[in-house]
Amino acid sequence: MQSIELTATHSAAKDWEEKMKADGVDISACYQCGKCTAGCPMAESMDYTTRQVVRLLQMGLVDEALRSNSIWFCLSCQTCSTRCPKDVDPAKMMEVLRWESQKQGVAAMPNVIIFHKAFLEAVKNNGRLFEVEMTMKNNLRSRDLFNNVDLGPKMMFKGKLQMLPPRIGDNGEVKKLFERVRERRGG
């Protein structure tokens, strides 16, 4: 069995309790009733269930939580946060963990991040989602060239696929918005 350094985990637990509080998540209020997991539609896919992820944070085992696939399988369906008797807001917790996991580069499902990046790039370039651009970038970068390409012809046949990028007539406002966000990140 792996040994755990208790002093370190204790201070990590304290740090994360504060960090989560800043986003309205009350980790210490959780009494482990499991109602969040009971209603979670993705529980079966997750390596740690929603209740267990809260427990990991209570115990300061933050790294486990950040590397779990749970945070990426979470669909933000909000069922847990709706039903939690202690108002912990586990759905928000999952979201905050996703931000941090990605920042640290330890995401268990990097393909999900590749997809979201391709999505936002297509939005930055066109103001609206341009699916052809997004799918091409996503498939190239995830080295999965034929991912969902069977859907393209189906969509096209039904007249649901736009082959040309949308023109929204915003005078480049959306691109500037993206740039101002990036400047604030200092990146």
Partner 1 sequence: MKIAYYPGCSLETTGIEFHLSTEYCAKKVDLELWEIPSWNCCGASSAHTLDHLLSLALPARNLAIAEKEGLDVAVPCAACYTHFKNVEAEVRQNEEVQQEVAQVIDMDYHATNNTKSILEVFVDQVGLNAIGAEVKKPLEGLKVACYYGCFLVRPPKLGHFDDRTEDPQSMDDLITALGGTPVEWPHKTECCGAGMVTLSPENGLPLSYELLRAAQLCGADCIAAACPMCQMNLDLRQEEIKKKYKADFNLPIYYFTELMALSFGASPKEIGLQKHFVESVSLVAEIGRKETA
The residue ranges that bind ligand SF4 (CB under 6 A) are 30-36, 39-42, 50-51, 54, 74-80, 84-86, 88, 90-91, 94
Task: Note whether 110 binds partner 1 by CB under 8 A.
Answer: no
Task: Note whether 131 binds partner 1 by CB under 8 A.
Answer: yes
For helices 110-126 and 173-185, give the axis angle rounded to 10 degrees. 130
* 71 vs 107: CA distance, rounded Å: 9
84, 69 in Cβ contact below 8 A?
A: no
Task: Note whether 6 binds partner 1 by CB under 8 A.
Answer: no
Which C-beta is closer to partner 1: that of 5 or that of 150?
A: 150
Torsion of Cα atoms, 72 then 76 then 82 then 87, to 10°: 50
Task: Note whether 151 binds partner 1 by CB under 8 A.
Answer: yes
Task: Note whether 184 binds partner 1 by CB under 8 A.
Answer: yes
Which C-beta is closer to partner 1: that of 10 or that of 182?
A: 182
Q: Which of 7, 145, 158, 164 binds partner 1 (CB under 8 A)?
A: 158
Contacts of 88 (CB under 8 A, 6+ apart): 25, 26, 27, 29, 30, 36, 54, 81
102, 113 in Cβ contact below 8 A?
A: yes
Task: Note whether 119 binds partner 1 by CB under 8 A.
Answer: yes
Q: Work out the end-to-end distance of the chain between its first and last CA atoms, rounded to an integer number of angstroms.
A: 41
Residues that bind partner 1 (CB under 8 A): 41-42, 45, 73, 75-79, 81-82, 91, 95, 98-99, 102, 111-113, 115-117, 119-120, 123, 127-129, 131, 148, 151, 154-155, 158-162, 166, 168-171, 173-174, 176-178, 180-181, 184-185
